[in-house]
Amino acid sequence: MGFLDSTLRAPLEEIHTDVRAFALVPPPSLRHFPSMTGPRYTKLAESLPATVPFVGPEAQERAIGQPFAARIGANENIFGPSPKAIEAMQKAAADIWMYGDPESYDLRHALAAHHSIAPEKLVVGEGIDGLLGYLVRLLVDPGDAVVTSEGAYPTFNYHVAGFGGTLHKVPYRDDAEDLPALLGNAADVDAKLVYFANPDNPMGSWCAGEDIVAQLDNIPDGCLLLLDEAYVELAPDGTAPVIDINDPRVIRMRTFSKAYGMAGARVGYAMGEAQNIRAFEKIRNHFGMNRAAQSGALAALEDVAWLSETCAKVELSRQHIAAVAAKHGLKALPSATNFVAIDCGKDEAYAKAILDGLVARGIFARMPFVAPQNRCIRISCAPAREIDLLDTALEEVLAALL
């Protein structure tokens, strides 16, 4: 008797004492079902492609049959979270049988104190991605206009499409999102929502906070400006704008996925005027926040020294990546994030060939998907070992493309 037989035999015999009963149950393919054999999806759901904004590195590893030697493509913080955050999550694991606090009370109040705002002006959610979904659900009916940049963060577009919004896209200007043009387009199309990331993904570019403040009066009536500040802790001083938290025209989102190194924990938060924040209570998943993740994020927030050390490591890695790019005749673009966009100097096909060559050599990387930014590849900051692997692989790839 084989292993499979021995593991299945006992429970089957316990459930079915008479094996002849199996003959009375036709296989699923032969059963008769009424004419209505499935759910009635909405027309909107039926119109959408079955897709995800990003193909994960795990899916690519399964496709190539081996793990990546360097996972430097997903904008993850490879330097990792604070040891205090890890310890807090390990300790909280013993109580994982309990639901997480639906108000994220301790974390929310700590974040409010950190930003010197009232707790009712902040909501915690399942990363910025989860909060984006909630915000779009609150604002966007089918056909409503939404403005973003052509080639900007695709998960936002995914949510807008999922609720039937109409996306209007504005080109980048000098490899950066163009806030004046975004707001101008919003006025033209009567947009309900404008997405603007500062610093930006996928290019790593940024603008001074005072330049954002200078544009606030250009926000059209009835429109909300969403500031995605996922990378702001890694950016130069002055990148975060000084905006009155009571300004109902703006909502800001931040995360523990980048500088704090907790992408897998899925912890983000939104800040804004109290009525805007209160609206999330109508539709958010109140038990969506993992209990251990809440504890880890609180510990990470309190470990100021670790955050400072991480930012310093990211800066050194940006310099390392730039040096590797220059060594091979490529150009690293200035970055205020934990990744660097490398200009490959030609077109999309050439950048894609470099990307494919890196992946084939065990280096997970990504590239922007819209011209002219798709002349680049994008490399996450990482310890020297991973960037050295990139260096070696890049030399081989470029030699093969000659």
How many whole angstroms from its chain centre is CA 211? 25
pLDDT range class, residue 7, cuts 50, 70, 90: very low
| Average per-residue pLDDT for the chain | 92
Give the tens place of pLDDT for each residue, 27-43. 555 556 566 578 999 99
**What is the pLDDT, as a whole number, of residue 6?**
31
pLDDT range class, residue 21, cuts 50, 70, 90: very low
Q: What residue ranges define each of the domains in the chain, with the CATH number in brackets?
A: 57-74+305-401 (3.90.1150.10), 83-302 (3.40.640.10)
- 104 conformational bin, left if phi > 0, alpha if psi -120 to 50, beta if neither: left
Distances (CA, A) of 91 to 64, 294, 300: 37, 12, 14
- Pick the closest to residue 358 from 306, 313, 400, 312 (CA basis): 400
**What is the pLDDT, as a whole number, of residue 37?**
73
Other CB atoms within a 10 A radius of the CB of residue 177 amount to 28
Residue 86 has pLDDT above 90, yes or no: yes
Residue 20 has pLDDT above 60, yes or no: no
Give the tens place of pLDDT for each residue, 257-304. 999 999 999 999 999 999 999 999 999 999 999 999 999 999 999 999
Query: Looking at the DSSP assignment, which residues form a beta bridge with residue 146?
Result: 167, 193
**What is the pLDDT, as a whole number, of residue 31?**
57
pLDDT range class, residue 26, cuts 50, 70, 90: low
Look at strands 268-272 and 122-125 and give their pairing. Answer: antiparallel
**What is the pLDDT, as a whole number, of residue 54?**
80
Look at strands 376-380 and 339-343 and give their pairing. Answer: antiparallel
296 token code pair:
């880890």
pLDDT range class, residue 23, cuts 50, 70, 90: very low
**What is the pLDDT, as a whole number, of residue 29?**
55
3-state secondary structure at position 341: strand
**What is the pLDDT, as a whole number, of residue 87?**
98
**What is the pLDDT, as a whole number, of residue 33?**
59
Distances (CA, A) of 99 to 6, 88, 95, 114, 286: 38, 16, 9, 25, 10
Spatial contact of 188 and 320, defined as CB atoms under 8 Å apart: no
Residue 110 has pLDDT above 50, yes or no: yes
d(CA 75, CA 231): 10
Q: Terminal CA-to-CA distance of the chain, rounded, Å? A: 58
> H-helix or E-strand containing 209?
helix 209-213
Give the tens place of pLDDT for each residue, 392-401. 999 999 999 9
- Pick the closest to residue 250 from 293, 212, 294 (CA basis): 212
Spatial contact of 120 and 269, defined as CB atoms under 8 Å apart: no
Give the tens place of pLDDT for each residue, 87-103. 999 999 999 999 999 99
Cα dihedral 343, 348, 352, 354 in deg (nearest 10): -40
In this structure, is the dihedral angle defined by the CA atoms of residues 143, 152, 52 and 250, taken in order, positive or negative?
negative
40 token code pair:
């009635």
Give the tens place of pLDDT for each residue, 193-224. 999 999 999 999 999 999 999 999 999 999 99
Other CB atoms within a 10 A radius of the CB of residue 236 amount to 11
* Mean pLDDT, residues 345-370: 97
pTM attached to this predicted model: 0.90
Other CB atoms within a 10 A radius of the CB of residue 27 amount to 6
* Mean pLDDT, residues 338-348: 98
With pLDDT > 70 as the criterion, what percentage of the chain qualifies? 91
* Mean pLDDT, residues 119-136: 98
Residue 3 has pLDDT above 60, yes or no: no
**What is the pLDDT, as a whole number, of residue 34?**
61
Q: For 140-240, where are the E strands, in sequence order?
A: 145-149, 166-170, 193-197, 224-228
Asked whether the bond before 372 is cis by omega within 30 degrees of 0, the reply is yes
